[in-house]
Amino acid sequence: QVQLQESGPGLVKPSQTLSLTCTVSGDSISSGSYYWSWIRQPAGKGLEWIGRIYTSGSTSYNPSLKSRVTISIDTSKNHFSLSLSSVTAADTAIYYCARDRTNGFDYWGQGTLVTVSS
């Protein structure tokens, strides 16, 4: 069974960098069969795709966040990571990692709430 688990600080100060890691089990992120994405959801609101990475390290980002986002991958640890710089209160959200098979996100992490506050 494929499982994804987000980890990282739940509280980040304004102007600092949000860093999260998604650890994958039950599948190898180096298999080359899927992309691996980050998606966020402000409380009570809709879903926003942040970006994705392939096993090769190739990335694609949402233009709305591109200047502040970096997604990286560590195949030896079977995990991928999100870094979002210069955060503001508008970045407060539940952050999900998900397996992206092009035709939909078929496995998701449980999500982790990140609050931006001083």
Residues that bind other proteins (CB under 8 A): 37, 46-49, 60-64, 96, 98, 100, 102-106, 108-111
Q: Considering beta carbons, is residue 48 or 85 the nearer one to other proteins?
A: 48
Cβ–Cβ under 8 Å, residues 107 and 3 = yes
Smallest separation, CB 56 to other proteins (Å):
16
Q: Considering beta carbons, is residue 7 or 16 the nearer one to other proteins?
A: 7
DSSP assignment of 22-65 equals EEEESS-TTSSS-EEEEEEE-TTS--EEEEEE-TTS-EEE-TTT
Smallest separation, CB 76 to other proteins (Å):
26
Q: What is the arrangement of strands in the sheet containing 3-7, beginning at the earlier edge strand?
A: 3-7, 18-25, 79-84, 69-74
Q: Considering beta carbons, is residue 15 or 58 the nearer one to other proteins?
A: 58
Smallest separation, CB 103 to other proteins (Å):
4
